[in-house]
Structure 1
Amino acid sequence: MPDRPILVFDVNETLLDLDSLAPVFEDIFDDPAALRDWFAQLILYSQTLTISGIDSDFPSLAAGTLRMLGQIRNIQISQAQIADLAAAIASMPAHADAASALQQLRDAGFRMVTLTNSPKGSGPTALDRSGLASFFEASFSVQPSGRFKPAPQTYRLVCDGLGVEPRDLCLVACHVWDTIGLQAMGGKGALVTHGVNAPLHVTGVPVPDLVAPTLTQLSRDIMAAWA
């Protein structure tokens, strides 16, 4: 493989445990599995707005998607429930092996940044609260581009911010649509499945350069691939 890339980590679900939101959905829908339905719709409509050229922000879209899911299931969503979801998102904990995996990569000399659909706020982010922020030299939000991942403009923000080209980056994510986004621009992709995702095998579609079930294993594979 080529010279070692700069690692660009997705945040939500990749580093932070999305399943920690399940109690919110159990309280609202009496169904913790509704979390996955909501998240799939959130990603679908973030990409729909990007393709359609309609501006929005991730928190507004998360709330709107929750209301939509409530309407589908004949449940009235209150402002308090939307606030509960927002608070839970802002305090998502790190995956149990995230800190040790990042420590290994940092000790091995890898440069690491984050790129998230979530906007930057005035206070601490979920990444800050999780204790992982210090591992990264920079944290990027897609917000300045007016688009959500996997739009090329979002990855270009990272390139411009670091003064590099897509080929110099490796997108580390739990979502294959995210790795595809950077790989389509000539970058690399590393997929951590966390037991809920998998590569997409379709002719002509780039598959991740590396695939592993945990961050621990993926960090070892990254170090082996780009020693």
Structure 2
Amino acid sequence: MVQPILVFDVNETLLDITPLEPHFEEWFGDAGAMRKWFAQLVLYSQSITLAGRYLPFGIIASHVLEMLATIEGCALPEGAARVLKHTMTTLPAHADALEGLEHLHESGFRLATLTNSDPETQAAQLSNAGIACFFEKQFSVEAVEQFKPAAATYRHVATEMRAEVSGLAMIACHSWDLLGAAAAGLQPVFIKRAGNSQPGFASQGTREIARISDLASLNW
């Protein structure tokens, strides 16, 4: 078995984003508005890349929050964007993350991350969640100024890890991320997380796991 380098998405794949929900319950009267905000954040980050532009993920997040408030007719309290950013940097790791990453590390896998967030935010997130120590390198799309699922983001990781793209596996709970990874030549692995599923057209050729530790037993 040739072990691939395992590259993890961060937000929602490694970290639980449900602690954001109370803020949206307070601001919008609906905890479910968090999912609307996150979906629009992904949509507009991808749109900016397609338009040949770049803005940091955090700035897009703030503007999308304001946009959603306008659409819903809600008045955001002063400092809402700062509160959101702080909560994003203190999200807990999923229950299976610590044990699973430790198992993979002890099994000899090389581990890395790739996120749309800026490097400083990612570093704070992984450190605060207590899982930064497991990763050989942390990658941000900021290095290429294109958001996932642009092929350049995944290829940059391969280059920096001095590996062929086919020797990397991308682990994410978002099919849109895995579609990009697969198109760039990585091995896609979907991890089940609450609030996410795979559309039929995206599942072909994609392995599916329930827990991070399951990666160690896949037939690579």
Query: Which TM class, normalised by the smaller chain length?
Result: over 0.9
CA deviations 1:70-115 (Å, max 9, x no partner) are 0000112244111111111111111111100111111111110001
Contact kept? 2:41, 2:64, Cα under 8 Å: yes
The answer on 1:29 being equivalent to 2:22 is no
TM-score by length of 2: 0.94
The answer on 1:177 being equivalent to 2:176 is yes
Equivalent residue, structure 2, for 1:19: 18
Aligned-pair CA distance for 1:163: 1.1
Equivalent residue, structure 1, for 2:209: 212
Equivalent residue, structure 2, for 1:93: 92
Contact kept? 1:199, 1:208, Cα under 8 Å: no
Contact kept? 1:17, 1:92, Cα under 8 Å: yes
Query: Which of the residues 204, 221, 225 maps onto 2:218?
Result: 225
Aligned CA-pair RMSD:
1.7
Range that drifts further, 190-199 or 45-54: 190-199
Equivalent residue, structure 2, for 1:82: 81
CA spacing shift, 1:132–1:170, aligned 2, 3 Å: same
Contact kept? 1:180, 1:208, Cα under 8 Å: no
CA deviations 1:172-221 (Å, max 9, x no partner) are 0110111111111221011112132222222xx56353212333xxx22x
Counterpart Cα distance in 2 of 1:196 and 1:208 = 22
Counterpart Cα distance in 1 of 2:72 and 2:122 = 34
CA spacing shift, 1:197–1:208, aligned 2, 3 Å: farther
Aligned-pair CA distance for 1:27: 1.1
Q: How does 1:108-147 map to 2 (within 5 A)?
A: 108-121=107-120, 124-147=123-146
CA deviations 1:3-50 (Å, max 9, x no partner) are 221000000000000111111111111111100000000001110111
Is the partner of 1:180 in helix, strand or coil?
helix
Counterpart Cα distance in 1 of 2:203 and 2:14 = 23
Counterpart Cα distance in 2 of 1:9 and 1:140 = 10
CA spacing shift, 1:183–1:42, aligned 2, 3 Å: same
Equivalent residue, structure 1, for 2:47: 48
Equivalent residues, number: 220
Contact kept? 1:173, 1:191, Cα under 8 Å: yes
TM-score by length of 1: 0.91
Counterpart Cα distance in 2 of 1:35 and 1:147 = 24
Structure 2 gaps, min length 5: none
**Percentage identity across paired residues of the two chains:** 38
CA spacing shift, 1:198–1:208, aligned 2, 3 Å: farther
Structure 1 gaps, min length 5: none
Counterpart Cα distance in 1 of 2:121 and 2:206 = 36
Is the partner of 1:125 in helix, strand or coil?
helix
* Runs (4+) off by over 4 Å: none
Counterpart Cα distance in 2 of 1:56 and 1:34 = 23
Is the partner of 2:79 in helix, strand or coil?
helix
Contact kept? 1:14, 1:174, Cα under 8 Å: yes
Counterpart Cα distance in 2 of 1:45 and 1:106 = 35
